[in-house]
A and B are shown apart, each in its own frame.
Chain A
Amino acid sequence: MSFEIPDDCRFLDSHEWARREDSTVRIGVSDFAQDELGDVVFVELPAEGDAVTAGEDFGVIESIKAVSDLYAPVSGTVVAVNDDLVDAPELVNEDPYGDGWMVDVEIDDESELDGLLSPDEYDDQIA
């Protein structure tokens, strides 16, 4: 089974992705993660203005199979939250890199992105 791994994303080995947008970094979970989790029923996210720290949990994702922490790929301040996930957590399953995004972060240290797994490295990990 092959999973979508966009070229413009970088990854944590815990299956979160980070993608540089115009002035922020957008964060979500990978196609592989949503498939492993199964039907997502609940996502708990931080509020705008909250700080997130690379490698530490910033939220919770719950599927009918499991409850997992969400880990931040980068450190920074949350500037936007995908409120659509409150009523439609299935967006994480349907479009993990698009409408299923979780938070936008104003990043503290641009170089943190470089320390994440490249698409190829992530592909190797889940292969």
Chain B
Amino acid sequence: MSDDPTDPDAGDDGSGTLGYQQARWTDSADRYEPLLSEKDTTEVDVGGDDSPLPDDLTRDSLELPGLSEPELARHYTRLSQMNYGVESGPFPLGSCTMKYNPKFTEDVVALPDGAVHPDRPDESVQGTLAVMAGLQDYLGRIGGMDAVTLQPPAGAAGEYAGILIAKAYHEAQGEDRTEVVVPDSAHGTNFASAALAGYDVVELPSAEDGRVDLDALDAAVGEDTAALMLTNPNTLGLFERDIETVAGIVHDAGGLLYYDGANLNALLGRARPGDMGFDIMHYNVHKTFATPHGGGGPGAGPVGVKADLAPFLPRPHVRAQPDGTGYERYEPDHSVGKVHGFEGNWLVLLKAYAYIARLGDPGLADASAKAVLNANYLATQLDYEVPFGPFHHEFVASAGDQDAADVAKRMLDYGVHPPTTKWPEIVGEALMTEPTEIESKRTLDQLAAAFDAVAGEDDATLDAAPSETSATRIDQVAAARNPRLSWQALGDEE
């Protein structure tokens, strides 16, 4: 134990920060836990003359990992020990809503009835279709939308699907609109979704208070405007108080209002995008409804629309049969087509259904209340300035004279995950912080202690951080200039 107060390993100094040292498995000074392909391998004879394939397409032997089951289990356990997740400690990554995913949802999707082949006829999967229709209904009621598609496989895919729906709607009206308006503080996916759908993106500057600038909006919106994409509360955590005026400006010009569901966690059970005038929205079920964050794996990004837009939803869509005897899949009249297969990644969606059903209306309203309370409590405990407010479920502090990225790296040494950094750019050296509703006061205090410990440290300490983690300073420049994207590139020269 050191007596150095800046050493996270030091004894209890009353600061409340966590003592932390991450596992670091190495087989040499410069190499972490080796890949399976770098461990023991065995040459296996697969030769034989009975293959009908040409000789140049066949081989006589294969190199396969020669590991025992315990060695395999240890490999993956070691990798998990060198990682950090919400089950390791607080994870206040702003805008990402890294809430804990309760384990009972895994039990639900493990039920054999949950996984049915998507090609089975409707009459043989009535229970599954009923749950799908139930989730569409839940999401519609939560967002204030009339119809919901479950098909898009991610939040960004939902955005894209939503913009395709807007485009199809305008075309059906005989209108050729070419622009989508996006505030400068919006998530980067908004710009990308609009551009991918073929629209010119008009960037809207924020007003001084961090909200939509109504004069700028008025000037930007016109007969070419297909949609305004907005998240509310916005990425500074601020509620767009003038949302009805904003909706009026966009609707008067014939445009549609698109709600980016990224920040829905702040509104659950209290306010609904549909009531604010939004016409289309996507739901980030991995943020709001506790399904796994994708990272490339199966995800889901349902899209809700007002009744006028329902005929344009992707196909197939699930509904109660008009005669009330059961549920069916059908193709909406003016469907934009498929944005993914079948009804999306169903087992992910089933987790969202289970979470919503378990919490119910009171539980969802309680979640948003605690998300907002936790963010506001944490902000009061920080030495860093928070320039914009009042905020809801997240806030953006400024690291001031410190480099936000270095602050983040140093926070790792205190056993907490850092906030999102350097974004939105409206706040200098931004520390975008979202503790979510899951944290207790004790954890929030530990988090605040980590922030404040780093706030009091000098640049040299920050520059050298992190030191307590399995991986220390990553050479980002070398990684970006010479990316090795496959294990097969491991042997390549620098």
Contacts and interface: CB of A to CB of B under 8 A. Distances in A.
Do A and B make up one complex? yes
Interface of A: 39, 41-42, 62, 64, 89-90
The 5 A-B pairs with the shortest beta carbon distances in the complex, nearest first, are A41-B480, A39-B477, A41-B481, A64-B476, A64-B480
Contacts of B476: 39, 64
Interface in B450-493: 476-477, 480-481
Contacts of B477: 39, 41, 64
Contacts of B481: 39, 41-42, 89-90
Contacts of A62: 480
A90 B481 CA distance: 9
Given A41-B481, A64-B480, A90-B481, 12 more contacts: A39-B476, A39-B477, A39-B480, A39-B481, A41-B477, A41-B480, A42-B480, A42-B481, A62-B480, A64-B476, A64-B477, A89-B481
Contacts of B480: 39, 41-42, 62, 64
Nearest to A89: B481
Interface residues of B, number: 4
Nearest to A38: B477
Nearest to B483: A41
A64 B476 CA distance: 7
A83 to B, nearest CB: 16
A90 B477 CA distance: 10
A42 B481 CA distance: 7
B308 to A, nearest CB: 37
Most interface-central of A41, A42, A62 (chain B CB within 10 A): A41
A42 B477 CA distance: 10
A104 B82 CA distance: 49
B403 to A, nearest CB: 11
Nearest to B477: A39
A89 B481 CA distance: 8
B385 to A, nearest CB: 23
A39 to B, nearest CB: 4
A63 B476 CA distance: 10
Determine which residue in A62, A64, A89, A90 has the highest number of CB atoms from chain B within 10 A of its CB, and name it: A64
B160 to A, nearest CB: 20
15 contacts: A39-B476, A39-B477, A39-B480, A39-B481, A41-B477, A41-B480, A41-B481, A42-B480, A42-B481, A62-B480, A64-B476, A64-B477, A64-B480, A89-B481, A90-B481
A26 to B, nearest CB: 24
Contacts of A64: 476-477, 480
A26 B29 CA distance: 47
Nearest to A39: B477
A89 B476 CA distance: 14
A39 B482 CA distance: 13
Contacts of A89: 481
A96 B123 CA distance: 68
Interface in B299-323: none
A90 to B, nearest CB: 7
A62 B480 CA distance: 10
Nearest to A65: B422
Nearest to B422: A65
A103 B14 CA distance: 60
Nearest to A42: B480
A42 B479 CA distance: 12
B126 to A, nearest CB: 49
A62 B477 CA distance: 11
A62 B476 CA distance: 13
Nearest to A87: B481
Contacts of A41: 477, 480-481
B42 to A, nearest CB: 38
A64 B480 CA distance: 7
Nearest to A88: B481
Contacts of A90: 481
